[in-house]
């Protein structure tokens, strides 16, 4: 029986893209380490350290929630794979004993397995194939009803001989990928209650942006449940992106002025332009370098090329639209993956569904848009709305 005093569970967190960052690699590693320390602190006291393109998350005391920590680590951008492993002294007899003690729960009910080995410590006396053969041999001897299948096993056991210890794990969890949040700057997400904008926020966080958010409401045309829906979406998104500060802004007076004064087919375009200008103000106040929207080309009337050009002309800030080339099915699939879909489809209207034109303009002319915009005092109304 293995001496459990000398073995313990640990998380091995492998990163992919970060390994290609050359001289800037240390910046990304430090950002990733900070995020891990923050996210894993909810699950116990972990020591976080780096070596050989891997981050180690080692429990410093009994009682750490390894299940919770594993799930949280898999949602951290910058991590390609998560391995929940057992560490053991670099001694072949102890490695085999540890494998027999740790792996039965993973092998139970399986029909086939194989063992792979990676030997980073070249001073270890056996080669990778020899280590794999010895560990596989004792497992097959103990679990003779499980076949060895080197080509298409139901489960793969991995042994890693590294600088600090030997590590044994069964299966990898796919991580979030991308690069650590905050390494690419900060962006302000225009967060509606729909399916697309949370997906857009997720995609830009995956590219290293810290995310802030602005949500537009139209009380009393939209209610408290619509606001709560948006805040819930931000909370779900924060499991991937980190804490998200959401500012809620009322567009009611702007929408009423547009409705009273302007040609109906321009209602949505004029509203979108006000939203962009107000969002730009908040973005500049909070240190954001870009606005993020969930628009997809051609999905609705306000998302034609001509309409998007009119919307963009309202702001000098970079506008990022990561969903622009995705169809609705692709966006829905992503929303299901990140956990926002079921909340997004709750039947609470947002501001964009209020005063919706029957026949919206799909190929607007900017000169006509500006003519419509001159019919009401949009600047004063935006000043009032933007009192953050």
> Is residue 201 predicted with pLDDT exceeding 90?
yes
Q: 155 pLDDT exceeds 80?
A: yes
CA distance 270 to 321: 19
- pLDDT band for position 349 (cuts 50, 70, 90): confident
Distances (CA, A) of 302 to 195, 268, 362, 370: 16, 7, 6, 16
Contact criterion met (CB below 8 Å) for 146 and 44? no
**Maximum separation of any 2 CA atoms in the chain, in Å:** 84
Q: pLDDT per residue over 286-309, tens digit each? A: 999 999 999 999 999 889 999 999
- pLDDT greater than 50 at residue 161: yes
Question: Between β-strands 81-88 and 8-14, what pairing exists: parallel, antiparallel or unpaired?
Answer: antiparallel
Q: Alpha-carbon distance 98 to 277, whole Å?
A: 61
Does residue 242 carry a pLDDT above 70?
A: yes
> How far is the CA of 133 from the CAs of 115, 123, 139, 167, 194, in angstroms?
7, 18, 10, 16, 53
pLDDT at 22: 85
Instruction: Give alpha helix (H) positions in the chain.
Output: 25-40, 66-73, 92-102, 104-107, 128-142, 196-206, 224-241, 252-261, 267-285, 305-312, 328-338, 341-344, 366-373, 378-385
Summarize pLDDT for 308-326 with one digit per residue, the tens.
999 999 999 999 999 999 9
d(CA 274, CA 382): 7
pLDDT band at 2 (very low <50, low <70, confident <90, very high): very low
Q: Give ∠ CA 122-130-11 in degrees, rounded to 5.
A: 65
Please state, as a whole number, how many other Cβ atoms lie within 10 Å of the Cβ of residue 156: 16
Domains of the chain with CATH codes: 4-174 (3.30.2130.30), 185-385 (3.40.50.620)
């Amino acid at each position: 029986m293995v001496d459990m005093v000398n073995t313990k569970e640990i998380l091995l967190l492998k990163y992919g893209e970060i390994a290609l960052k050359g001289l800037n690699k240390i910046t990304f590693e430090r950002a990733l380490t900070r995020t891990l320390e923050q996210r894993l602190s909810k699950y116990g006291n972990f020591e976080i350290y780096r070596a050989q393109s891997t981050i180690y998350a080692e429990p410093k005391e009994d009682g750490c929630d390894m299940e919770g920590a594993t799930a949280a680590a898999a949602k951290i951008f910058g991590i390609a794979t998560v391995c929940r492993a057992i560490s053991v002294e670099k001694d072949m007899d102890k490695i085999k004993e540890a494998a027999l003690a740790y792996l039965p729960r993973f092998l139970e009910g399986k029909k086939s397995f194989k063992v792979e080995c990676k030997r980073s410590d070249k001073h270890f006396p056996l080669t990778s194939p020899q280590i794999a053969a010895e560990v596989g041999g004792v497992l097959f001897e103990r679990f003779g009803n499980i076949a060895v299948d080197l080509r298409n096993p139901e489960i793969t056991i991995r042994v890693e001989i590294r600088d600090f210890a030997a590590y044994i794990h069964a299966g990898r969890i796919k991580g979030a990928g991308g690069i650590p949040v905050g390494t690419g700057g900060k962006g302000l997400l225009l967060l509606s209650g729909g399916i697309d904008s949370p997906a857009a926020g997720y995609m830009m966080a995956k590219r290293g942006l810290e995310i802030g958010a602005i949500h537009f409401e139209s009380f009393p045309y939209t209610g408290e449940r619509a606001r709560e829906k948006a805040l819930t979406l931000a909370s779900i998104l924060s499991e991937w992106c980190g804490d998200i500060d959401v500012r809620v802004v009322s567009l009611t007076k702007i929408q009423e002025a547009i409705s009273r004064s302007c040609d109906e087919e321009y209602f949505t375009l004029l509203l979108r332009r006000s939203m962009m200008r107000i969002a730009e103000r908040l973005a500049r106040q909070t240190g954001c370098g870009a606005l993020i929207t969930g628009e997809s080309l051609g999905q609705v009337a306000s998302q034609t090329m001509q309409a998007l050009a009119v919307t963009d002309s309202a702001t000098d800030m970079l506008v990022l639209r990561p969903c622009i080339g995705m169809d609705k099915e692709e966006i829905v699939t992503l929303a299901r993956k990140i956990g926002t879909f079921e909340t997004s489809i709750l039947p609470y209207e947002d501001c964009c569904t209020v005063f919706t034109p029957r026949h919206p303009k799909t190929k607007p002319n900017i000169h006509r848009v500006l003519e419509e915009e001159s019919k009401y005092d949009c600047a004063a109304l935006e000043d009032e709305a933007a009192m953050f």
